[in-house]
Amino acid sequence: MTRIKRGFVAKKRRKKILKFAKGFVGSHSKLFTAANQQTMKSIRYSYFDRRKNKNHFKKLWIKRINAASRSLNTKYSILIKNLKLSSVIINKKVLSKLYIIDTNSFIKLIKVK
């Protein structure tokens, strides 16, 4: 029986990991074992950070809306309550963009009761 050499498959796998680890600092981008561990960790971080990112942006939109509404003598909580009571369906992202792009329409939204 002939001997089977698996160098090609293993080399391809290692090259793929090292290519993914390009840009990591020190041995994390040069040595396979360290690079493999770091890539697994980075994949885990990216999964959790995608969720953190959503929370971060939601907080940012709330801060923007609060600042905008306070400049017009209304609190954020009162603004949201009035929008819900008047059954205006608009999300926080659009509301924060609305103030930045078109302030007049935002002022009209605040006055809706």
42 CB-contact burial (10 Å; exposed 0-12 / middle 13-18 / buried 19+)? middle
Rounded Cα distance, 39 and 47, in Å: 12
Other CB atoms closer than 10 Å to residue 63's CB: what's the count?
12
User: Which domains does the chain carry?
Assistant: 11-111 (1.10.1900.20)
- Please report, in tens digits, the pLDDT of each residue of the chain (113 residues total): 778 777 788 899 999 999 999 999 999 999 999 999 999 999 999 999 999 999 999 999 999 999 999 999 999 999 999 999 999 899 999 999 999 999 999 999 888 86
Which pLDDT tens digit goes with each residue over 25-56? 999 999 999 999 999 999 999 999 999 999 99
pLDDT of residue 69: 94
pTM as predicted: 0.70
Answer for the pair 68, 106: CB distance below 8 angstroms, yes or no. yes
**CA dihedral angle for residue 3, residue 9, residue 10, residue 12, rounded to 10 degrees:** 150
